[in-house]
């Protein structure tokens, strides 16, 4: 009882000084919190996945048509990267904006350093990477590139890796001394890198190429060896169908020593042996895969699809490497996110204005949350993962 009284009082006081859209701040853990992007309205819904509820909403985040989100190392704050160059720090406990800057004219995403002290943003215009203090959002470093920057990822050792779309380069920036980044440039890595990922173990940075086939891979344990090409056939060149949407790379699933990768333009998920980086299998699926994501225990891989098949989700059993289940959540399944240990998965179903929550063993829908044109779903556990 006293606890509630205190929270309510705190709410009034905080509400009075905490900026737009305050909600009752309660003393609570933050390990089960998350953010759902409500793309059309430039706001996010704050959610929790212990009881599957919406805790509040935060408006005024600008253009979220290609929003990326990372979390502070204490899992209290979300950093929202807007398409319009806005960087907003959202307090998940008070439901308020703790800081906001517009740091460039046109941005494509960001990352947070291993130690949680630096937030980096990849910019198209002006092309480059800007680095900010995670606490204050004060500028720390500016890395102009003369090119659109894509595929910005954090890497172990307080490094950031990113790709230059126009000049076909990968840069590795060591921010051990934040004020003066040490840059290692890798040129001629391939035409028009368009996205990238860091493998979940933090070892490999891999860029997809729009201008040619194959993937550019940098071994972060051995950058001296340079960037090498893997999966030569991977890309639009192999497409048997028009490519409706280049698949996301960050969603790559790694399970049982293998990577499960969305084929480009084909109704297939590729299976790649991570020891040799060679393709060892292809799994036929319902449409052109967009996100191919492994349940945290690696036993299942869940796949959503590009138009016209984006109303379907399929589940691949990793042991048998076959599709074992199909869901029809409704049109516009844009993203999925597993609970930290994988017992549940959340799906954003844009055209139903819903987030649907499924039990990953029974495949039953256990909850439905209202959300306005939801796109990305991000849980705070990402704060403790590499390359997310």
- Distance (Å, whole) CA 102 – CA 86: 4
Question: Cβ 96 to its own copies, closest distance in Å?
Answer: 11
Q: Which is nearer to its own copies, 94 or 354 (CB)?
A: 94
Query: Using CB under 8 A, which of 17, 242, 276, 328 touches its own copies?
Result: 17
Q: Which is nearer to its own copies, 78 or 196 (CB)?
A: 78
Question: Cβ 249 to its own copies, closest distance in Å?
Answer: 19
Three-state secondary structure of 243-273: CCCCCCCCCCEEECCEEEEECCCCCEEEEEE
Question: Cβ 98 to its own copies, closest distance in Å?
Answer: 11
Q: Which residues pair with 197 in a beta bridge?
A: 206
Using CA atoms of 162, 165, 168, 173 in order, give the dihedral in degrees to the nearest 10.
Answer: -20
Other CB atoms within 10 Å distance of the CB of residue 40: 14
- Distance (Å, whole) CA 82 – CA 96: 17
Q: Mask: binding to its own copies, 128-167, rule CB under 8 A, as x and -?
A: ----------------------------xxx---------
- Give the pair of three-digit tokens for residue 146: 């003369």
Q: Which is nearer to its own copies, 159 or 350 (CB)?
A: 159
Query: Using CB under 8 A, which of 16, 179, 225, 364 touches its own copies?
Result: 16
Query: Using CB under 8 A, which of 43, 47, 77, 206 touches its own copies?
Result: 77
User: According to the binding rule CB under 8 A, does residue 20 interact with its own copies?
Assistant: no
Q: Where does this chain touch its own copies (CB under 8 A) — which range of 230-238, 243-251, 367-375, 380-388?
A: 380-388
Query: Using CB under 8 A, which of 29, 144, 237, 281 touches its own copies?
Result: 29
Three-state secondary structure of 87-103: EEEEECCCCEEEEEEEC
- Distance (Å, whole) CA 2 – CA 312: 48
Burial class (CB in 10 A: 0-12, 13-18, 19+), 13: exposed
Nearest to 77 by CA among 386, 382, 388: 382
Q: Where does this chain touch its own copies (CB under 8 A) — which range of 12-20, 56-64, 123-131, 308-316?
A: 12-20
Whether residue 247 contacts residue 235, with contact meaning beta carbons closer than 8 Å, is answered with no
Whether residue 89 contacts residue 79, with contact meaning beta carbons closer than 8 Å, is answered with yes
| Backbone CA torsion sign across 253, 259, 263, 268 | negative
- Distance (Å, whole) CA 68 – CA 147: 20
| Backbone CA torsion sign across 236, 164, 68, 254 | positive
Q: Which is nearer to its own copies, 92 or 137 (CB)?
A: 92
Other CB atoms within 10 Å distance of the CB of residue 196: 24
Residues 182-241 that bind its own copies (CB under 8 A): 201-203, 221-222
Q: Which is nearer to its own copies, 264 or 357 (CB)?
A: 357
Q: Which is nearer to its own copies, 256 or 353 (CB)?
A: 256
Query: Using CB under 8 A, which of 10, 40, 54, 239 touches its own copies?
Result: 10
Question: Cβ 140 to its own copies, closest distance in Å?
Answer: 17
Q: Where does this chain touch its own copies (CB under 8 A) — which range of 39-47, 71-79, 119-127, 305-313?
A: 71-79
Query: Using CB under 8 A, which of 64, 68, 69, 93 touches its own copies?
Result: 93
Residues 318-357 that bind its own copies (CB under 8 A): 319, 340-343
Query: Residue numbers of the site for its own copies (CB under 8 A)?
Result: 2-3, 5-6, 9-10, 13-14, 16-17, 25, 27-32, 48, 50, 71-77, 92-94, 114-116, 156-158, 176, 201-203, 221-222, 255-257, 274-275, 296-299, 319, 340-343, 361, 380-381, 383-386
């Amino acid at each position: 009882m006293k606890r509630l009284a205190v929270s309510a009082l705190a709410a009034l006081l905080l509400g009075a000084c905490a900026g737009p859209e305050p909600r009752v701040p309660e003393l609570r853990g933050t390990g089960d919190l998350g953010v759902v992007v409500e793309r059309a309205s430039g706001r996010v819904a704050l959610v929790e996945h212990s009881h599957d509820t919406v805790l509040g909403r935060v408006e005024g985040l600008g253009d979220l048509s290609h929003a990326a989100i990372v979390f502070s190392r204490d899992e209290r704050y979300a950093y929202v990267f807007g398409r319009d160059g806005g960087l907003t720090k959202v307090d998940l406990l008070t439901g308020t904006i703790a800081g906001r800057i517009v740091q460039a004219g046109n941005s494509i995403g960001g990352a947070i350093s291993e130690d949680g002290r630096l937030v980096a943003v990849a910019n198209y215009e002006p092309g480059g990477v800007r680095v900010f203090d995670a606490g204050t959002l004060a500028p720390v470093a500016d890395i102009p590139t003369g090119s659109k920057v894509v595929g910005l990822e954090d890497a172990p050792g307080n490094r950031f890796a990113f790709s230059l779309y126009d000049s076909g380069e990968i840069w590795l920036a060591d921010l051990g001394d934040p004020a003066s980044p040490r840059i290692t440039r890798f040129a001629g890595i391939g035409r028009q890198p368009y996205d990238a990922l860091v493998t979940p173990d933090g070892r490999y940075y891999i860029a997809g190429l729009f201008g040619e086939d194959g993937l550019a891979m940098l071994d972060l344990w051995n950058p001296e060896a340079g960037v090498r090409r893997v999966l030569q056939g991977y890309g639009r060149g192999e497409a048997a169908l028009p490519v409706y949407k280049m698949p996301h790379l960050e969603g790559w699933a790694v399970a049982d020593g293998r990577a499960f990768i969305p084929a480009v333009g084909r109704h297939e998920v590729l299976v790649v042996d991570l020891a040799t980086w060679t393709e060892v299998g292809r799994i036929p699926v319902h449409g052109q895969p967009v996100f191919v994501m492994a349940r945290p225990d690696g036993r299942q891989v869940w796949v959503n699809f590009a138009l016209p098949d984006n109303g379907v989700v399929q589940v691949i059993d990793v042991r048998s490497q076959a599709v074992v289940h199909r869901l029809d959540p409704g049109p516009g399944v844009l993203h999925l996110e597993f609970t930290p240990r994988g017992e549940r998965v959340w799906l954003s179903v844009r055209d139903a204005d819903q987030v649907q929550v499924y039990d990953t063993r029974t495949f039953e829908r256990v909850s439905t949350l209202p959300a306005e044109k939801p796109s990305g779903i991000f849980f705070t556990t990402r704060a403790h993962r590499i390359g997310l």
